């Protein structure tokens, strides 16, 4: 803990006195769930210019006597920050005085330096009102470096999720299809689950012992999808700035991948179904995608987004003939519930830009895309019926999907999607988590697409989805963050 440090003097001409503030670090252990409490207490003194008499104005004399029978001593605990463990500084700067004549409030501001220089500084500010020879604490403010704000973490350690985001499962509430009077699609809505400090998508937890109260294993669930997205109350990003999406994830299949499958037991029109595990040895699919969307509904209200559909649609694109369980008939799905702007797919199965499942075709007559495994695929906005805009060749520079003998052998990759040039250009990058620099995987300037006319929304929000079909894979999200970059 740093030693106490004193401010310069602030002179009040009317009362002919000096104010001086001394910041002192105070810490103490509490119950185990709270750990160590840390506070930086401002001791404010008045010094009479004529007599040199020194008087303690804050805290009160009783407030610093923390005895068992002195309840007023708890005044000091108002200075303990919610993120107390993140303000354990190695050094304090000299406090600076300021006075606001209009509000008649005094402000004391100082910096806290961490032991590690890479952690930077925090800014602490205390506001007081001086009334009748007594200094009253009005409030305080703490500005922490981002890596010290435990409440603002963008990973999922200990089951945490940043308050800006929510998670949900893709719906399978079909818009219609043949035999609609007899057959209804399943609607499981598998929400991503926290496991081992990751968000795992499209899995079912299993008890393989038959005696455990909680599940001890998990396997992918076929024909499912889940996503993370900004909450309705979160602030959207302006397309006039660069919008950067960063996330770290594992995408892998096991050599003999087992999947949990919903299967229809008889031919139509029966709706009897059962669940079973199958060893799926085919090509992994489908993939994961970053999607940008307008945040207001048709009534101009900000609402949470939903995704309808799975498989090669990634829940973003509408699809008129999608199979959603083994042995089922095709159904129609609407895709994203709000107005999508575009979606960037890390397309393991390679069919995001194709017309498989009844998805819209290319953005202009004669523009078609064929299945390309492990490619980057981009689809456009609602304005253009979510048509396919661009597709890369198979990505080999930084493979975003791998087949391994065990889950522990899979490695994290860092991914970045940027919307730049005032909402016109999309840049997709990735790197091994241990690398220092990103490799560009794909780039598209939508303004260069002949025959593709589009309107750039002033503001958008962002989400990340993962879906599969009968071919399943494992997707584990370690962190997710969206920023506006000046």
- Domains of the chain, by residue range, sit at 5-148, 153-485
Spatial distance between the Cα atoms of 212 and 219, rounded to a whole number of angstroms: 17
Mean pLDDT of 33-41: 66
Please tell me the predicted confidence (pLDDT) of residue 71. Answer: 42
Please tell me the predicted confidence (pLDDT) of residue 132. Answer: 78
On the question of pLDDT at 148 being above 60, the answer is yes
On the question of pLDDT at 216 being above 90, the answer is no
Mean pLDDT of 41-62: 87
Q: What is the pTM of this model?
A: 0.75
Please tell me the predicted confidence (pLDDT) of residue 118. Answer: 77
Specify the range with the lowest mean pLDDT, choosing from 60-74, 139-153, 368-382, 390-404: 60-74
Please tell me the predicted confidence (pLDDT) of residue 152. Answer: 62
| pLDDT band for position 335 (cuts 50, 70, 90) | very high
Please tell me the predicted confidence (pLDDT) of residue 449. Answer: 94
Mean pLDDT of 161-165: 90
Please tell me the predicted confidence (pLDDT) of residue 74. Answer: 47
pLDDT in tens, 235-259: 999 999 999 999 999 999 998 888 8
Structural domain 5-148, CATH architecture: Beta Barrel (2.40)
pLDDT in tens, 440-456: 999 999 999 998 999 99
- For 34, 249, 266, 337, 373, the CA distances from 222, given in Å and listed in that order, are 42, 20, 19, 22, 19
Most confident of 85-94, 111-120, 181-190, 222-231: 222-231
* 5-148 matches 153-485 in fold: no
Most confident of 79-88, 114-123, 439-448: 439-448
| pLDDT band for position 150 (cuts 50, 70, 90) | low
CATH 3.90.45.10 fits 153-485, yes or no: no
């Amino acid at each position: 803990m740093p030693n106490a440090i004193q401010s310069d003097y602030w002179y009040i001409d009317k009362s002919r006195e000096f104010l001086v503030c001394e910041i002192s670090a105070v810490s103490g252990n509490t119950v185990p769930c709270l750990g160590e409490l840390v506070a930086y207490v401002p001791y404010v003194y008045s010094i009479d210019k004529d007599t040199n008499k020194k008087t303690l104005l804050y805290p009160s004399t009783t407030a610093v006597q923390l005895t068992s029978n002195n309840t007023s001593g708890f005044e000091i605990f108002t200075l303990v920050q919610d993120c107390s463990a993140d303000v354990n500084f190695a050094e304090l700067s000299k406090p600076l005085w300021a006075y606001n004549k209009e509000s008649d409030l005094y402000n004391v501001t100082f910096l806290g330096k961490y032991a590690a220089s890479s952690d930077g500084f925090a800014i602490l500010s205390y506001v007081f009102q001086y009334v009748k020879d007594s200094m009253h604490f009005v409030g305080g403010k703490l500005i922490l470096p981002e890596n010290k704000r435990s409440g603002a973490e963008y990973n999922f350690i200990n089951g945490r999720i940043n308050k800006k985001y929510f998670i949900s499962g893709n719906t399978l509430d079909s818009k219609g299809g043949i035999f609609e009077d007899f057959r209804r699609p399943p609607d499981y809505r598998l929400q991503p689950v926290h496991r081992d400090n990751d968000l795992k998508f499209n899995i079912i937890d299993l008890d393989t012992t038959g005696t455990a109260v909680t599940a001890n294993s998990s396997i992918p669930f076929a024909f499912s999808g889940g996503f993370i997205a900004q909450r309705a109350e979160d602030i959207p990003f302006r397309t006039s700035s660069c919008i950067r999406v960063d996330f770290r994830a594992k995408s892998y299949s096991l050599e003999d991948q087992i999947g949990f499958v919903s299967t229809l037991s008889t031919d139509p029109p029966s709706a009897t179904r059962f669940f079973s595990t199958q060893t799926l040895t085919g090509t992994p699919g489908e993939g994961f995608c970053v999607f940008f969307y307008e945040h207001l509904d048709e009534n101009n209200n900000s609402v949470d987004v939903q995704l309808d559909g799975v498989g090669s649609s990634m829940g973003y694109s509408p699809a008129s003939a999608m199979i959603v369980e083994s042995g089922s008939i095709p159904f129609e799905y609407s895709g994203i519930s709000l107005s999508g702007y575009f979606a960037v797919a890390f397309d393991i199965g390679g069919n995001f830009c194709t017309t498989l499942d009844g998805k819209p075709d290319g953005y202009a007559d004669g523009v078609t895309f064929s299945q390309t495994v492990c490619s980057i695929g981009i689809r456009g906005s609602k304005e253009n019926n979510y048509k396919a805009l661009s597709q890369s060749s198979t990505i080999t520079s930084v493979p975003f999907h791998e087949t391994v003998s065990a889950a522990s052998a899979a490695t994290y990759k860092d991914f970045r999607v940027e919307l730049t040039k005032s909402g016109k250009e999309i840049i997709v990058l990735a790197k091994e988590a241990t690398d220092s620099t990103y490799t560009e995987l794909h780039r598209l300037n939508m303004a260069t697409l002949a025959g593709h006319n589009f309107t750039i929304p002033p503001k958008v929000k962002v989400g990340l989805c993962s879906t599969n079909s009968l071919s399943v894979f494992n997707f584990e999200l370690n962190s997710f963050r969206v920023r506006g970059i000046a």
